[in-house]
Amino acid sequence: MDTIVPVPPIERIIDDFGFLDDWEDRYRYLIELGRELAPLPPEAHNDANKVQGCASQVWLQKTPREESDGLHLDFAGDSDALIVRGLVAIVIALFSGRTPAEIMTIDAEAVFAQLGLSEHLTAQRSNGLRSMVSRIKTEAAAAA
């Protein structure tokens, strides 16, 4: 049985990617991130949470949380494809737990470029990644 661990912070994912020399190892790491991603409850696999524009099925669930400094948005997600589940984990690490204002300022493309995802993902997966980011930023703008 796979062990479910919290998504590591984006800084750790970036560091881990930096230690891996070739893309085979990076793909394995992406798959591992996907395997470790906490599962969404079955009822969260619904049309409201489904991300449009992804070749694989992807669901993102937003949970607002009030903190002393204001509203924060937590995200959980899932996909029917292992590598895409790993990409969902990266997106969650990048955006989850932040305020809507913070989410709006994050340059996801720069982080994806730093990880080397831009040049190593298929066009369909890159489009899906952009769709996930767009969905999260739309949710943040609506919550702001």
Active site residues: 54
Beta strands in 5-118 (DSSP E): 58-67, 70-79
Q: What is the largest CA-CA distance in the chain?
A: 43
Residue 59 forms beta bridges with which residues?
50, 78
Measured CA to CA, the distance from residue 64 to residue 73 in angstroms comes to 5
Other CB atoms closer than 10 Å to residue 92's CB: what's the count? 23
Tokens representing residue 80 in the block: 């029917």
